[in-house]
């Protein structure tokens, strides 16, 4: 399973990368807005740290605007994946970008049929938002299960990025289902790196060791 880091924060990306846990990075306009500096410079910096897919989202809502932004973003680095919103205009843009060989991540996916449309349009990735569905009492991981089944039925190459991850169980369940990728906020990654019994075990080993030295 690939882990992407869901952040535009350079320090977090460096830290996850040094652990070997950053196979890629996803950003969105809200994540970029939290950081200092301009969008393109942040993306260039991220591309220097992580040698994997780096998602950068367009702001335009019309197909032509999306295409213009997408070509500019793709020109920054070969690893840039253009994030396009799941709308009719976004699907048209995805189709055109796919023909041009520009990688896309169709974002804000909340239903399996949206994911099917995105795959048919030639999306490289789709991002189902599990946390935001859970927030409104829907089952976010059921959506991932259904997309996996559909893509498997028809052998689509589009990879599933489980997004809007809010806790370690989202990642565990996604891994058990066989989702290709989870994009994980740094604080969630840190949570599942540690376990109280690991800490307790380390302390007990050290205490025993130190007692034996006296």
Which residues would be at the binding site for ligand E4P (CB under 6 A)? 6, 26, 28, 107, 127, 129, 131-132, 163-164, 183
State the minimum distance, in angstroms, from the CB of residue 28 to ligand E4P: 4
Closest approach of ligand E4P to the CB of residue 212, in Å: 48
Closer residue to ligand E4P (CB): 49 or 110: 110
Cα–Cα distance for residue pair 175/32, rounded to 1 Å: 27
Tell me the closest approach of the beta carbon of residue 127 to ligand E4P, in angstroms: 5
**Residue positions counted in the chain:** 214
Q: Which is nearer to ligand E4P, 1 or 206 (CB)?
A: 1
Cα 5 to Cα 22: distance, rounded to the nearest angstrom: 6
Alpha carbons 140 and 110: distance in angstroms, whole number: 8
Q: Which is nearer to ligand E4P, 121 or 160 (CB)?
A: 160
Minimal distance, residue 183 CB to ligand E4P, in Å = 5
Q: Which is nearer to ligand E4P, 44 or 132 (CB)?
A: 132
Task: Please give the positions annotated as active site.
Answer: 83
Count Cβ neighbours within 10 Å for each residue of 183-198 and write b for 16 or more, e otherwise: bbbbebbeeeeeeeee
Query: Terminus-to-terminus CA distance in the chain, angstroms?
Result: 46
Calpha distance 115→168 (Å, rounded)? 24
**97, 70 contact by CB (below 8 A):** yes
């Amino acid at each position: 399973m690939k882990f992407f880091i869901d952040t535009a924060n350079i320090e977090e990306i460096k830290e996850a990368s040094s652990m070997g846990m950053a196979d890629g990075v996803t950003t969105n306009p809200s994540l970029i807005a939290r950081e200092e500096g301009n969008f393109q410079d942040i993306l260039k910096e991220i591309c220097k740290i992580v040698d994997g897919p780096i998602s950068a989202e367009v702001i335009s809502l019309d197909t032509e605007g999306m295409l213009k932004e997408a070509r500019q973003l793709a020109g920054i680095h070969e690893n840039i994946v253009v994030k396009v919103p799941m709308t009719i205009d976004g699907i048209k843009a995805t189709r055109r970008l796919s023909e041009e060989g520009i990688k896309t991540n169709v974002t804000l996916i909340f239903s399996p049929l949206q994911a099917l449309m995105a795959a048919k349009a030639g999306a490289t990735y789709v991002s189902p938002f599990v946390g935001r569905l859970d927030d409104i009492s829907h089952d976010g991981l059921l959506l991932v299960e259904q997309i996996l089944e559909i893509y498997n039925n028809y052998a689509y190459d589009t990879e599933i990025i489980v997004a809007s991850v809010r806790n370690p169980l989202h990642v565990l369940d996604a891994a058990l289902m066989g989702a290709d990728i989870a994009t994980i906020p740094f604080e969630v990654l840190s949570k599942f790196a540690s376990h109280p019994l690991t800490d307790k075990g380390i302390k007990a080993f050290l205490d025993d060791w130190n007692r034996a030295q006296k």
